[in-house]
Amino acid sequence: MDIKYWIGLSSKEEIEPSFILSLYEYFGDIERVFNCSEKDLEGINIEINKKKFNTFLSLRDKINLDKTREEVEKRGINVLTFDDERYPKMLKEIHNPPMILYYKGDLFSCNLERTVAFVGSRRASTNGKDSVRRIINDFNNTDICIISGLAEGIDASSHRAALDNNLKTIGVIASGFDFQYPSSNKDLYEKIPKGCGAIVTEYYPTVEPLRFHFPQRNRIVTGLSFGTVVGEAALKSGALISANLTLEQGRELMCIPGSINNKNTEGIYKLLKNGATMVTSGEDVLNALNWEIVPSPIDRLCNGVTPTVVELFYNTT
């Protein structure tokens, strides 16, 4: 089956997703990508770095396809590949989309047409975390899905606010599932997959949460989302990286204002001065995304409660 080739290639982190996808777009078949030779690339119309290709061949020959697939299956991890028709269309549109998504929970219970990312400082102030919660509280019992990066600070507050308000949430992590980082969010790693959304990563289960993985992770957080709300952000921060990715991806960038005496709001005011939308309520977010709420009962179970919720539809008027 095709899935074993995607898994096998993802097990070698040195093989970049963009490289695999360029080959996939040429051959149109992941099995042919895995088994291709240098001769197969003669006359190819895409730019292939020969050094990268030789590295690919060397690493490819060390992959045990059956073993890597078995390692994923025995951990109870679900797999979604780039060629799957269920692959999120918003994510497929970005530059350098992940070639594979590993996930736990029910990803498709989330409404991927109503996704909003919340990002911000790991060392967020109490006011910053309260502001995020206040905005997410306004979405109570709707089918909006909150996406964040399962880090400390704004991320954790966003996920917890989603759970408290019967919202689905997706946590995008910067490692494989053998790691739960940070350990302070252990409760979220346990709760989210149990009926409240999904935890997602592009990394093979044994990959560690290394520093450079976090900026890479951010492109998935914003890429899955129609818009991104920045809670708090210093002038040099991962949140500003996410903000720039949001703009590059052509999505709506929103910011929550905060105290001018807080170093973690300096980045916020820079973004606002450059044209980001200021939001202080859930209604502001809906207006920015041109969504409206229309009553419609849905049966959905999250946190052991089956609420009556309302769906969100694009406002086409």
Task: Tell me the pLDDT band of 307, cut-offs 50, 70 and 90.
Answer: very low
Provide the CATH number for the domain formed by 104-292 in this structure.
3.40.50.450
Task: With a cut of 50, say whether residue 277 has pLDDT above it.
Answer: yes
> What are φ and ψ of residue 103, in 5° steps?
-150, 155
Residue 171 CA: distances (Å) to CA of 4, 85, 139: 25, 22, 18
As a whole number of angstroms, the distance between CA 101 and CA 112 comes to: 15
Query: How much is the pLDDT for 48?
Result: 64
Task: With a cut of 50, say whether residue 316 has pLDDT above it.
Answer: no
Indicate the domain borders of the chain: 1-74, 104-292
Q: What is the pLDDT of residues 195-249, one digit of tens each?
A: 999 999 999 999 999 999 999 999 999 999 999 999 999 998 889 999 999 999 9
Tokens linked to 80: 């979604």
> What are φ and ψ of residue 145, in 5° steps?
-110, 125
Rg of the chain, C-alpha, whole Å? 20
Task: Tell me the pLDDT band of 41, cut-offs 50, 70 and 90.
Answer: confident
Q: What is the pLDDT of residues 47-83, one digit of tens each?
A: 566 778 888 999 999 999 999 999 999 999 999 999 9
Tokens linked to 235: 């002038």
Q: What is the pLDDT of residues 104-123, one digit of tens each?
A: 999 999 999 999 999 999 99
